Structure formats: C-alpha cells, structure tokens
Amino acid sequence: MRIGIFGLGTVGQGLVEIMRQKNCGIEIAAVVDRSFAKKAQVLQGIPASADKDLILKDKSIDTVVELMGGIDDALYVVRSAIEEKKNVVTANKALLAEHGYSLFHLAERTQGGQILYEAAVAGAIPIIRNIETIFRNEQITRLMGIINGTTNYILTRMRKDNMGYGDVLEAAQKQGLAEADPTLDVGGYDAQQKLGLLISLVTGKWVEAKNIPVRGITELSSQDVIWAERFQNRIRLVADYKQENGQHYMHVTPALVDERNVLYDIEYENNAILFQGEYSGEHLFMGKGAGKFPTAFSVYSDLLYLKSGSAAAARKFAHTPLSTNYLSIGDISDTSSAFYLRLRVKDQPGVLAAIAQILGNNALSIASVHQDHSAVQAGEADIVIHTHSAKRNSFYRALQEIKNLKNFVLHQIYLPVLT
C-alpha cells in the first residue's frame, strides 16, 4: 500500500511520526503541502511538492490522505482521487458535511475507492467504524454527545477557574485549543457538521448538516455556570438526536446536565458519545476529541483498515450515507423538555407575577423560582426559573411574550435540561 498525504500540518505530522514508529508496511510515497519547503525536517526525504499532481497523477499511489482542511482544494483533491479510483482517508468534517452526499455518491457510481473518515468525528473515538460495523443492523433510537472539545474546554474552565467566557476563549486560543476565528466551534457549527455525519450513518440517509438547528455557547455568562452549579448541574454543548414516533429529531444546543448523566463528568477537551440501541442497550464512547496524535491515530487506523481489506467488505453491508435519500428532520420544537430560564429584570412589584402568568397561560408549570440580587446593579434582580417538562413550542411562545415585557425584562437566557 502506497499513500500520498495532502497537508503536513498538526495531524499530517502526527501521522508521519506514528507511521515511522509503527513500521506498518504502508509506504508514504509523497506529500503535497503548500509550505512543504519549510517542513524538510519532518519530510526526511519523502518526495514533496505544492503541486497536487505529484500524488493525484501517480498511479502507484492507491490511497490519498487529505489533511489540509478547508473546502475548495480539499474537494478537488478528494474528487480527483476518487475519479482516479484511489481510496481516500480524510479528517475533514467540514468538507464531508457540505459535499459528502455527492462524494459518497461519486465513489459508489464510479466503483472507485473507499472514503474513510474516522478522524472527522470525535477525534480518536472510534465511533464511525463501530456504527458502520458492529451496530450496522441495530436501531439507534437516541444519541447524545459532547463532540466539540473547544467548547467543552471553555465551559469546564469557566466553572473550575471561575473565569468569564472571553478570558477562557483567549486562554484556549493561546494553548492552541481554539482557532483564531472560533466561530465554527463556539457557534456550534462544528458539532452540527459532526452530528450530521453521525446521524447519516445511524439512519442510512443523508442529513444536510446545515438544516440541523444549532445554538452555540456565546450567549452564556459565568452567571449561568454558577447557577447551574447551585443546582448540581453543569452546562454542556450537546449534540442530541432521538427517534420518536417515526420522526428524527436533532439539534445542537447548550444544555443543563445533572450528575446522573454521564456527560456531567466529561471535562476539558474530552469528547463523549452516548447512544441507545434497540437490542444492545446503552453505550458510552469517551476519549480525546482532537489533538495531534489522537486525531492522527484515527487516520492511521483507517489506513490499517484499508490495508486489511476489511473496509471494502464492511462497506458492502453497512448502511453508509450513499443512498439517494435525504433524511427528513423533524421539527425539534414539537418535542418536550424542562427548561432553565434566567431573567435579568427591574426589581419592581408585579414583575414575577407577570412572568408567572405568561408561563401559566402557555401551560408551563414551574418547578422552582429563585431570585438573587448579588450579581446585579441596584434596582435589578436575576430571576431563575426551572420549569417542568413541556412542549418546546409552548416554552418558545412564552419566552417571546416575556421578551415583550420590555419595561421589566432587561435580558433573558434559557437552557433546556438534558434527560
């Protein structure tokens, strides 16, 4: 087996190092990287160029490893490789979320190579291969996970170190745990892309990731982290899917989890995916969601899988997202949840009564109410309400009505409670 690597950055370098140490019988025939000239120390004589044809036109290379990231060039490389009937291993969830449908379809149509992408979802956690093989005939009715390490790191440090969102983000950027432009992570879009890939695999129908409702963590403040702790809860950015009454519901959202939920203990940049199989019961996968060696190891594992010949055999049976069907996504607001609602209000008589009235009118029953003046200016108060489970629709309607109380309500934030 001879491979060509596109992109000798963090993951690419990790892969080269692992392969050198493991002596696995797979040859790195060439590397393409736009700044290959600066990477002679890593290359140690491996032929390299910025010209993609060094790999794409080499018929002796049977597998392309795409580790450049980005969309346009990566799409060209993966598409060309498949047309040349080469296998592709990629860690690029953004590429697959946007173009996976056409790329998997192309691979099927041209009877070209396989596309493997274990590293694209949850780094080192072997979730793709497990769903494709062991669980291929299992009905997965619920899946929830922490699949973005950056946001989990931020939320963990906000709580443990009593820091504000902005300060933790800056620290994460300095440590290389957050990108200079963190929007994909903190906006929830990275988790949205990964959830799309996971549920495509789970259902065998392609999920358009951009249609999955998403909320990030940018509106959260340390107040919410503190309030969560007071009730033995933690805030997690969760990717949540469930099958109910024949509908497929999914979203990415910050949520409260309590100590009975396994996601409660997943800290820092770790990832975890919990799912429920119809016959096999509950499963938890936990591990490193990113990083040089954890991610490179998943790429390496895909290469060994290809080399063993098992990938081709497994794909014949797996329900991969190759079909011509798109999954229809149910409207998440038709489902139910309990909620945490924090309102910054003017401290005046009648405010709480007005809010309670709105909740009652929308069939929302209150589990608890707390008021606190400690973190606010004089004349203001924070009211924190926990509701019992109710239709999300009703809650959103009530929230809109509460927002309209502009004379009283200065700011509001809500979180669903994950169960």
Identified catalytic residue from 194, 210, 242, 316: 194
Q: How far is the CB of 179 from ligand NAP (least distance, A)?
A: 9
Residue whose CB is less far from ligand NAP, 18 or 398: 18
Residue 210 is among the residues annotated as catalytic for this protein: no
- 371 alpha carbon, distance to own chain's centre: 35
Of 35 and 60, CB closest to ligand NAP = 35
The least CB distance from residue 154 to ligand NAP, in Å, is 16
Chain centroid to CA 33: 27
Least separation, in Å, of the C-beta of 405 and ligand NAP? 43
Tokens of 74: 């990566």
Residue closer to ligand NAP by CB (options 70, 166) is: 70
The residue (of 20 and 388) whose beta carbon lies closer to ligand NAP is: 20
Least CB distance to ligand NAP at residue 66 (A) = 8
CB of 344 to ligand NAP, least distance (A): 37
Q: Which two tokens stand for residue 353?
A: 């009564």
Nearer to ligand NAP, 11 or 198 (CB): 11
- Work out the number of other CB atoms within 10 angstroms of the CB of residue 58: 16
CB closest to ligand NAP, residue no: 9
Nearer to ligand NAP, 73 or 267 (CB): 73
Chain residues in the site for ligand NAP (CB under 6 A)? 7-12, 32-35, 67-70, 73, 91-92, 119, 123, 290-291, 295
- Which residues are the active-site residues? 194
